[in-house]
Structure 1
């Protein structure tokens, strides 16, 4: 297991620089040819990535290693891809690196999300408009680009994760999206996150 200060979502790429001895050992074990080249990633709710002693969430994602560059001084550069969502059943020892018993946690069937998706797109457009207004007021000539919510998958689960990856939300909201039991609930969580961001922008523009 690899606790991080960021949320990895299924289908999302992840790049890592590995230098801490315990995670060097993890990578070496993943690449020993006796197992799949993958590990679990969970969010650190409190604490730090280096040194241990952190508090971790119990819902994460399998990261499959797709590319490895071995560097000098027992370091690695990894490219990974988020695959299955997992739930931690029990944390085990942290020696020589964090380990846990986990199970794959697929989505449950959800309600039709067509109306919710259309509404979320409108809210995202509103958020971008407010963000651009605030940027201009702050003297920024090029406001951040709008998140593209087009060309989404037809699969409800994949689509909901694509939305979570593209919307300008923080790690807490990304974790809430990851932990949702089904795609419809995930979109409800994302709508709430965008509404909170809109309210913050409107307050700052007053």
Structure 2
């Protein structure tokens, strides 16, 4: 995939800091309403060669209003669909493409921008033992999630297995991470792994925490209800 980057010069790319880390290959629906990002969308959609912007995780702060602290690792998002809706908003459909690193941030005028460079995967292969550990944890998560869903009268979630995913090991790890219930920081760790050899164990470690949390909730069935009630107050 090419975004017209010159390897010897970091280009300026429109940026959209979000409360999540977008992964390559992942779809990203966006509802755009802030004036600065509506201006960004107008810029990106003005010509076919501008249909991309960068997405980085907000490390501290909020998506709306600015003044946030941003990470320097992200993903190029390509706009694949867009339509205006009521209230002057725009609905975008995007897909994550290549990883990027931010060289430096420019003033947010008229919208966030940064000088960025592509960050391709380092060539590596995950260890077979790490893949086996990851596969086991996905299976464990599947069983626990099904048990938890039964307590709520809900259909069990389905997670893909490693062997069923297409692409090389790096793309498989991204696709699996996108399908799993990971927090923003764990997603960033998966995104920031230099290559597949590091990404697979990073994903397995993140899943260990998810499995432990789900085991705790199953051991204390009333805890989930208390958590839900606390969020509603």
In the TM superposition, what are the counterparts of 1:29-108 in structure 2 within 5 Å?
29-33=43-47, 35-71=49-85, 73-108=87-122
What is the distance in 1 between the residues matched to 2:127 and 2:90? Answer: 41
Segments of structure 2 that go 5 or more residues without pairing to the other structure are 1-14, 220-233
Aligned partner (choices 196, 200, 205) of residue 187 of structure 1:
200
What are the superposed Cα offsets for residues 130-165 of structure 1, whole Å, 9 maximum, x if unpaired? 2333344xx312353131224212412211111111
Segments of structure 1 that go 5 or more residues without pairing to the other structure are none
| Contact 1:131-1:143 within 8 A present in 2 as well | no
Q: 1:203 to 1:68 in 2, by over 3 A?
A: closer
What is the distance in 1 between the residues matched to 2:112 and 2:33? Answer: 15
What is the distance in 1 between the residues matched to 2:156 and 2:18? Answer: 26
- Partner of residue 227, structure 2: none
Q: Quote how far apart the aligned CAs of 1:34 are.
A: 7.3
- As a proportion of its length, which structure holds more helix? 2
Q: Quote how far apart the aligned CAs of 1:19 are.
A: 1.1
Q: 1:73 to 1:204 in 2, by over 3 A?
A: closer
In the TM superposition, what are the counterparts of 1:1-206 in structure 2 within 5 Å?
1-33=15-47, 35-71=49-85, 73-136=87-150, 139-149=151-161, 150-206=163-219
What is the distance in 2 between the residues matched to 1:53 and 1:202? Answer: 38
What is the distance in 1 between the residues matched to 2:202 and 2:133? Answer: 13
What is the distance in 2 between the residues matched to 1:184 and 1:10? Answer: 17
SS in 1 for 2:96: strand
What is the distance in 2 between the residues matched to 1:204 and 1:18? Answer: 35
Moved over 6 A (4+): none
TM-score for both structures, normalised by structure 1: 0.91
What is the distance in 2 between the residues matched to 1:54 and 1:112? Answer: 35
Q: 1:121 to 1:21 in 2, by over 3 A?
A: same
Aligned pairs, number: 204
SS in 2 for 1:132: helix
TM-score for both structures, normalised by structure 2: 0.81
